[in-house]
Chain A
Amino acid sequence: MSETDLLRALVEAEHAAIYGYGVLGGRLSDPLREAAQRADDAHRARRDQLAVLLQARRAEVPPTQAAYDVAVSRPGAALALAVRLEEGMALRWRDLVGGTDDRTLRKLGVDALTESAVRATQWRRALGRRPGTVALPGS
């Protein structure tokens, strides 16, 4: 997969994560709702950062879809979805690290993978899992 393809896949995944957080945040109460809002903000920032990288390469930025089929009825399901969203992002960020020799993109991938792994840990702990970590995030 080319670097451009990896970046495009990341934008598409960030679109879905942003949509997912918008839905799941509404099923949570503070302080978890606030945590979901912060995660949403972080994913928007990453999506915008990726869009700038694609534009610099004169590559098309994938648009967001009108809607994603997300159904979350209970807080527990909302938290579980948040875990899955972050695990999905971690996979793609790890792919970027292994798909480029560009140190700037590598650093972006390492930083974003780490942030997703930390958020996944926080959501797992909110679900009562201890310690809530995994040995190899993104793999």
Chain B
Amino acid sequence: MLGAGALAAGRLGAGRLGIGALGIEALGGGLSLTACTRTDSSDPLPPDEDVDASVDPDGQVRAAALTRERALLAAYDAALLAPTSSAGLLRRLRAEHAEHLAALGGDPAASPAPSGSPAASATPSPSRARGLTALRAAERSAARGHARDALGASRQLAPLLASLAAAETSHLEALA
């Protein structure tokens, strides 16, 4: 897809480049990458996932988001049980869902990553295609739920739900 020049320049991919490194400091106020109202939606939460609605106004919304993330983790675990040439990709995407769970205040230890990897097969099988299709559907469904709930959540939780919706939708690119 890329020309040779682009491939050579692909080395730039290592690390995150600052705007300054690209010589566009004067993108000015417009693109200062520091947001001015950082709402920290990853405030420390009790490790207990039994969120108490009387303490957390987002209790139900947070619980629903946790349920969606646990369902995604389970879907990836199921996909990883079958021999697949996509195991590396699936494990990396699964790790992002584990981060989502933690950001929501969930206990990652409650959903341990599968130990050991099933023997990877270099040959795509019909079950691989089915597995990716199921994962895409699961990601789409979770993205819709996160996006919907972001509209009514508190100002503290809404940005996190928005990021989760964006992340699940981005995963569709990697699972295409």
**CA A88 to CA B30, docked complex, whole Å:** 9
B87 at the interface (CB under 8 A from A): no
A7 at the interface (CB under 8 A from B): no
- We find that the number of chain B residues with CB closer than 8 angstroms to chain A is 65
Q: How far is the CB of B89 from chain A (nearest CB, A)?
A: 6
Q: Number of contacts between A and B (CB, 8 Å)?
A: 223
Q: Which residues in B have some Cβ–Cβ distance to A below 8 Å? A: 1-3, 5-13, 17-19, 22-31, 33-39, 41-42, 89, 92-93, 95-96, 99-100, 103, 143, 147, 150-152, 155-156, 158-167, 169-174
Contact B24 A70 (CB under 8 A): yes
Contact A75 B165 (CB under 8 A): no
Contact B158 A98 (CB under 8 A): yes
Within 8 A of B (CB), among A114-139: 114, 116-118, 120-122, 124-139
Within 8 A of B (CB), among A44-79: 65, 68-72, 74-77, 79
Contact A121 B173 (CB under 8 A): yes
Residue in B10, B18, B28 whose CB lies within 8 Å of A127? B10
Q: How far is the CB of B175 from chain A (nearest CB, A)?
A: 9
- What are 21 A-B pairs at a CB distance below 8 A? A13-B30, A16-B31, A70-B22, A75-B3, A75-B5, A76-B6, A77-B22, A79-B9, A79-B12, A85-B31, A91-B33, A92-B35, A95-B38, A99-B39, A101-B155, A106-B150, A106-B158, A110-B161, A113-B162, A113-B166, A131-B174
Residue in A13, A76, A131 whose CB lies within 8 Å of B10? A76
